[in-house]
Amino acid sequence: MRWLVSLLLIVHGAMLGYSAYVHSPMTDEIGHFAAGLGHWRYGDFELYNVNPPLARTIGTLPVYLFMPWDDDAFGKSYSSVGSSYDKHGAPVSHRKEFLIGDQLFKQIEQSYLFWLITARWACVPFSCLGAWVCFNWASDLYGTKAGFTALVLWCTSPLVLAFGGALTPDVPSGAMGILAMYRYWKWTTDCTWANAYLAGLAIGLAELTKSTWILLHPMLFLIGLGLCLTRLNRLSIAAQCAFQLTIAWIVLLAGYGFTDQFKPLGEFEFSSPQLQIREYSESGELRNVVTNRFRDTWMATIPVPLPTELVRGVDTQESAMASQTIVGFLCGEMRLGGWWYYYLVVLAVKCTVGELGLFAIATLGACRSDTWSIPRLFRMDLLLLLGPVVLYLGLLSYHTGLNRHARYMLQFLPFCFVWASQAINFFPHRRLLRFGTVALLVFGSLSSLFYFPHSLSYFNELFGGPSQGHKYLSGTNIDWGHNVYYLRDEIKRRRWDSVGMSLWTRYDLKLAGIEAQITKIPKLKRVDVETLERIEDEAKVLQPGRYAVSVCIVQGTMGFSETAKKGVPIDNGMTYFQDFKPVGHVGYSIWLYELSEKDILESKAWGNVYRIYLDHKAGKVTEPSD
* Digit-coded pLDDT (tens) for 58-92: 999 999 999 988 777 677 777 765 444 455 544 44
Q: Are residues 278 and 319 in the same domain?
A: yes
Tens of pLDDT, residue by residue over 313-355, are 888 887 776 665 567 889 988 877 778 899 999 999 999 999 9
Q: What is the pLDDT of residue 175?
A: 97
| pLDDT value at 24 more than 90 | yes
Q: Is residue 81 part of a domain?
A: no
User: Nearest to residue 310, comparing CAs of 213, 224, 219?
Assistant: 213
Which burial class, exposed, middle or buried, applies to 458 when counting CB atoms under 10 A from its CB (0-12, 13-18, 19+)?
Answer: buried
Q: How many residues does the chain have?
A: 626
Q: Between vectors from CA 468 to CA 558 and to CA 476, what angle results, nearest 5°?
A: 35
Tens of pLDDT, residue by residue over 466-487, are 999 999 999 899 999 999 999 9
Q: Are residues 555 and 495 in the same domain?
A: yes
| pLDDT value at 366 more than 90 | no
Helix, strand, coil percentages (3-state) for the chain, rounded to 5, are: 60, 10, 30
Tens of pLDDT, residue by residue over 98-138, are 888 888 888 887 789 999 999 999 999 999 999 999 999 99
Residues 6+ apart with CB under 8 A from 488: 512, 513, 514, 515
Mean pLDDT value of segment 512-519: 89
Q: What is the pLDDT of residue 80?
A: 60
Tens of pLDDT, residue by residue over 288-314, are 777 788 888 889 889 999 999 999 888
Q: Are residues 509 and 526 in the same domain?
A: yes
Q: What is the pLDDT of residue 318?
A: 79
Number of domains in the chain: 3
Q: Are residues 198 and 288 in the same domain?
A: no
More confident: 557 or 601: 601
Say if CB 166 and CB 212 are below 8 A apart. Answer: no
Q: Are residues 174 and 247 in the same domain?
A: yes
Note down the domain range covering 319.
261-323
Q: What is the pLDDT of residue 531?
A: 47
Q: What is the pLDDT of residue 527?
A: 43
Rank 299-313, 456-470, 507-521 by mean pLDDT and report only the highest.
456-470
Q: Are residues 557 and 508 in the same domain?
A: yes
Q: What is the pLDDT of residue 59?
A: 97
Mean pLDDT value of segment 188-196: 93
Q: How confident is the model at residue 266 (pLDDT cuts 50, 70, 90)?
A: confident
Could you tell me the strand order of the sheet in which 590-595 lies? 517-519, 498-502, 545-550, 590-595, 584-586
Q: How confident is the model at residue 11 (pLDDT cuts 50, 70, 90)?
A: very high
Say if CB 542 and CB 606 are below 8 A apart. Answer: yes
Q: What is the pLDDT of residue 85?
A: 47
Q: What is the pLDDT of residue 374?
A: 46
Would you call 626 helix, strand, or coil by DSSP? coil
Q: Is residue 588 part of a domain?
A: yes
Q: Is residue 543 part of a domain?
A: yes
Residues 6+ apart with CB under 8 A from 212: 392, 395, 411
Q: Are residues 225 and 283 in the same domain?
A: no
Q: What is the pLDDT of residue 440?
A: 94
Q: How confident is the model at residue 167 (pLDDT cuts 50, 70, 90)?
A: very high
Q: What is the pLDDT of residue 562?
A: 46
Q: Give the phi and the psi of residue 53 in degrees, each rounded to 5.
A: -90, -5
Q: Are residues 503 and 537 in the same domain?
A: yes
Compute the distance between CA of residue 405 and CA of residue 343 in angstroms, rounded to an integer.
9
Chosen domain end from 231, 259, 287: 259
Residue 483, CA distances (Å) to 24, 64, 279, 588 in order = 6, 26, 46, 9
Q: Is the pTM of this model over 0.95?
A: no
Chosen domain end from 237, 259, 281: 259
Q: Is residue 608 part of a domain?
A: yes
| pLDDT value at 29 more than 70 | yes
Q: Is residue 301 part of a domain?
A: yes
What is the DSSP secondary structure assignment for residue 82, as one 8-state letter? -
- For CA atoms 611, 613, 618, 621, give the dihedral sign: positive
Tens of pLDDT, residue by residue over 386-431, are 999 999 999 888 887 777 889 999 999 999 999 999 999 887 777 8
Q: Is residue 557 part of a domain?
A: yes
Rank 310-314, 380-384, 392-396, 460-464 by mean pLDDT and report only the highest.
460-464
Q: How confident is the model at residue 508 (pLDDT cuts 50, 70, 90)?
A: confident
Which burial class, exposed, middle or buried, applies to 588 when counting CB atoms under 10 A from its CB (0-12, 13-18, 19+)?
Answer: buried
Q: Is residue 397 part of a domain?
A: no
Q: Are residues 268 and 252 in the same domain?
A: no
Q: Between vectors from CA 134 to CA 128 and to CA 139, what angle results, nearest 5°?
A: 130
Q: How confident is the model at residue 567 (pLDDT cuts 50, 70, 90)?
A: very low
Q: Is residue 382 part of a domain?
A: no
What is the DSSP secondary structure assignment for residue 51, as one 8-state letter? S
More confident: 13 or 513: 13
Q: Are residues 180 and 292 in the same domain?
A: no
Q: What is the pLDDT of residue 529?
A: 42
Mean pLDDT value of segment 503-508: 85
More confident: 197 or 111: 197
Chosen domain end from 259, 281, 312: 259
Compute the distance between CA of residue 504 and CA of residue 534 in angstroms, rounded to an integer.
27
Q: Are residues 496 and 581 in the same domain?
A: yes
* Minimum mean pLDDT range among 141-145, 415-419, 553-557, 561-565: 561-565
- Which H or E run contains 387? helix 380-398
More confident: 267 or 538: 267
Q: Are residues 509 and 609 in the same domain?
A: yes
Q: What is the pLDDT of residue 591?
A: 96
Tens of pLDDT, residue by residue over 212-225, are 999 999 999 999 88
